[in-house]
């Protein structure tokens, strides 16, 4: 009977399921947005483009949640000078063509500034449009090319630590431990490739020898072949530049094949996911990261401590474990809001204010921007962290 009904009205059933799914999932979120009745002044418009779906989504989703959380808070406390913030958030689906369209959409909506994207490729696809239309853009992605050469990037800023900075930090650590011959493995995408290129530069400058490099695909799950090759080289230490899940797979295979050399990862494993997936294999892994992960363990006189703990508590109360990507978005949106407060609704003035950002205590570090440096982070923004019993513990080098 039921089957017959379903067969006859298959489409109806199908549409009904769709409606239920959409309604069911949507219902829970509906009352999060509050109606502000005290609105008198024209709202300030800010645009956001993030990699919410597609391969970049593990970055884009915490970034979206962070930005929504901050804007909600700002609007609840009356906005900026009485102007509420009107946020337009677009998903680029981790697709460069859609990012390029999204940024034009936002510019046409007369946004004062734009935050995004989550990854380097999608950000780079938007730069031409913001440079031409003269709209300030603050990216949460890593590649140094987003802000370099700075004379062609007048309107572009970024908050994530550059790969060059991270690579330098790792080289400093290696030298302090006397590990001079290493093997390098990276995931085969923009993140891993840029990490490899920057690490090669930093290693050459720091007197570290790279015995060999290996690659694995983003979706690879068994890296035995690569690790067997690394084993043959017999390095002092192994560097892996990847994000989970493949970073975790690499670690698990590394332990399974019985390598005993220190395993050093990149800042790409700056979230709980890595530990959840690799389990006890994660123990002993050392990696460079912003201070957010070990916030509670920082000395009380650390200037960032209060901001870090506050953000981590707020975020974890609503969305689950903290991660550094959300932190990059926190920095980006707050730098924009700061500049907006000082400059008022004028794109050019906002840009100038962003460039003047000094001693801004953020999540990824303390920002000191200038006409030559549109990132504004120093080596001290990264610490080395070791995983012990599934916890992050700062290491001194």
Partner 1 sequence: MKDLTKRKRLRHSLIIIFSAIILLLPFIITNNYYLSVLVIIGIHTIVVVGLCLLMGYAGQISLGHAAFYGLGAYTSGILTSTYNVSPWIAMLAGAVGTGAVAYIIGKPIFRLKEHYLALATLGLGLIVHVILMEEVELTGGPSGLTKSIPYLSIGKLVLNSDFKYYFLVWIVALLAIILANNVVHSRIGRALRSIHGSEFAAQSLGVDTGKHKLQVFALSAMYASIAGSLYAHYITFISPNPFGLMTSIQFVVMAVVGGLSSIWGPILGVSVITVLTEALKEVIPKIIPQAGGEYEIVVFGFILVMIMIFLPEGLTAGVVNLYERWRYRKERTDETSGN
Partner 2 sequence: MSLASELLQYLLSGLTMGGIYALVALGFVIIHNVTGIINFAQGEFVMLGAMFMVTLVKAGLPAPVALLLSILLVMIIVAVIEVGAIRSAKRASPVSLVILTIGLSTAIKGIALLVWGTHPYRLEPFTKGGPINIGGATIVPQSLWIIGTTVVVLAVTFFVFEYTYWGKALRACVVNKFAARLMGINPRKMSLIAFVFSAALSALAGIVIAPITYVTYDMGLMLGLKGFVAAVLGGLSSTPGAVFGGLALGVIESMGAGLISSGYKDGISFVLLLLVLFLKPGGIFGISGSKRV
Residues that bind partner 1 (CB under 8 A): 11, 14, 18, 21-22, 25-26, 29-30, 32-33, 50, 52-54, 57, 60-61, 64, 68, 89-91, 93, 95-98, 100-102, 104-105, 107-108, 120-121, 124-125, 127-128, 132-133, 143, 145, 152, 188-190, 192-194, 197
Helix (H), strand (E) at residue 183: strand 181-187
**What is the phi-psi region of residue 338: left when phi exceeds 0, alpha when psi lies from -120 to 50, beta otherwise?**
alpha
- Placement of tokens 């949460």 in the chain: 140
Nearest to 180 by CA among 213, 207, 214, 212: 207
SS3 48: strand
Beta carbon nearer to partner 1, 114 or 125: 125
3-state secondary structure 36-47: CCCCCCCCEEEE
Pick between residue 75 and residue 252 the one whose CB is nearest to partner 2: 252
Helices 305-319, 324-343: inter-axial angle, 10-degree rounding: 110
Q: How far is the CB of 215 from partner 1 (least distance, A)?
A: 9
Q: How far is the CB of 277 from partner 1 (least distance, A)?
A: 22
Partner whose binding site includes residue 107, from partner 1, partner 2, none (CB under 5 to 8 Å by kind) = partner 1
Nearer to partner 1, 60 or 362 (CB): 60
Give the interface segment with partner 2, choosing from 51-59, 199-207, 334-342, 371-379 (CB under 8 A): 51-59
Cα separation, 202 vs 231, in Å, equals 23
Q: Which of 43, 45, 58, 133 forms a contact with partner 2 (CB under 8 A)? A: 58
121 binds, among partner 1, partner 2, none (CB under 5 to 8 A by kind): partner 1
C-beta neighbour count of 370 within 10 angstroms = 12
Closest approach of partner 2 to the CB of residue 272, in Å: 9
Q: Which does 257 bind (CB under 5 to 8 A by kind): partner 2, partner 1, none?
A: partner 2
Q: Which is nearer to partner 1, 95 or 304 (CB)?
A: 95
DSSP 243-275: -TTHHHHHHHHHHHTT--S-EEE-GGG-BHHHH
C-beta of 163: minimal distance to partner 1 in Å? Answer: 10
Map residues 167-196 to x or -, x wherever contact with partner 2 holds by CB under 8 A. Answer: ---------------------x--------
Q: Does 316 help bind partner 2 (rule: CB under 8 A)? A: no
- Give the span between the Cα atoms of 260 and 237, in whole angstroms: 9
**CA–CA gap between residue 41 and residue 81 (Å, rounded):** 9
Token pair for residue 151? Answer: 């004379």
Minimum gap (Å) between residue 14 Cβ and partner 2: 4
Question: Is residue 385 within 8 Å of 287, Cβ to Cβ?
Answer: yes
Q: How large is the angle between the packed helices 224-233 and 246-256, nearest 10 degrees?
A: 60
Return the structure tokens found at 341.
Answer: 């407060």
Residue 76 is a binding residue for partner 2 (CB under 8 A): no
* Binders in 215-274 for partner 2, by CB under 8 A: 215-217, 219, 221-222, 224-226, 228-229, 231-232, 244-245, 248-249, 256-258, 273
What is the spatial distance between Cα 174 and Cα 176, in angstroms, rounded to a whole number? 5
> d(Cα 86, Cα 73) in Å, to the nearest integer?
13
State the residues that interact with partner 2 by CB under 8 A: 3, 6-7, 10-11, 13-14, 17, 21, 25, 53, 55, 57-58, 61, 188, 214-217, 219, 221-222, 224-226, 228-229, 231-232, 244-245, 248-249, 256-258, 273, 276-277, 279, 320
């Amino acid at each position: 009977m039921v089957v017959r009904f379903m067969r006859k009205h298959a489409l109806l059933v199908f549409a009904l399921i769709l409606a239920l799914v959409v309604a069911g999932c949507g219902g829970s979120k509906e009352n999060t947005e509050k109606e502000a009745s005290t609105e008198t002044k024209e709202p300030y418009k800010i645009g956001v483009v993030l990699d919410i779906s597609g391969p970049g989504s593990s970055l884009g989703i915490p970034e979206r949640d962070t930005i929504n959380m901050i804007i909600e808070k700002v609007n609840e406390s009356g906005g900026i000078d009485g102007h509420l913030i009107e946020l337009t958030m677009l998903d680029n689906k981790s697709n460069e063509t859609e990012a390029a369209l999204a940024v034009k959409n936002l510019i046409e909506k007369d946004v004062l500034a734009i935050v995004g994207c989550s990854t380097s490729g999608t950000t780079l696809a938007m730069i031409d449009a913001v440079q031409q239309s003269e709209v300030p853009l603050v990216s949460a992605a890593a590649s140094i090319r987003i802000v370099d050469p700075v004379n062609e990037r007048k309107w572009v800023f970024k908050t994530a630590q550059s790969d060059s900075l991270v690579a330098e930090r790792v080289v400093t650590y290696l030298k302090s431990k006397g590990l001079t011959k290493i093997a390098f493995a990276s995931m085969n995408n923009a993140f891993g490739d840029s990490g490899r290129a920057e690490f090669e530069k930093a290693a050459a400058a720091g007197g570290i020898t790279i015995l060999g490099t290996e690659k694995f695909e983003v979706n690879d799950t068994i890296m035995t072949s690569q690790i067997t090759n690394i084993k043959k080289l017999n390095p002092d230490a192994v560097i892996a530049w990847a994000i989970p899940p493949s970073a975790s797979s690499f670690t698990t295979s590394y332990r399974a094949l019985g390598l005993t050399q220190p395993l050093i990862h990149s800042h790409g494993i700056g979230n709980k996911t890595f530990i959840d997936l690799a389990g006890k294999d994660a123990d002993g892994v050392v990696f460079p990261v912003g201070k957010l992960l070990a916030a509670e363990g920082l000395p009380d006189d650390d200037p960032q401590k209060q901001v870090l703990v506050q953000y981590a508590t707020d975020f974890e109360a609503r969305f689950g474990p903290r991660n550094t990507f959300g932190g990059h978005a926190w920095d980006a949106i707050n730098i924009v809001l700061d500049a907006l407060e000082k400059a008022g609704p004028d794109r050019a003035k906002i840009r100038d204010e962003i460039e003047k950002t000094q001693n801004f205590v953020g999540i990824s570090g303390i920002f000191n921007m200038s006409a030559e440096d549109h990132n504004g982070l120093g080596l001290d923004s990264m610490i080395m962290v070791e995983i012990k019993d599934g916890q992050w513990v700062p290491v001194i080098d």
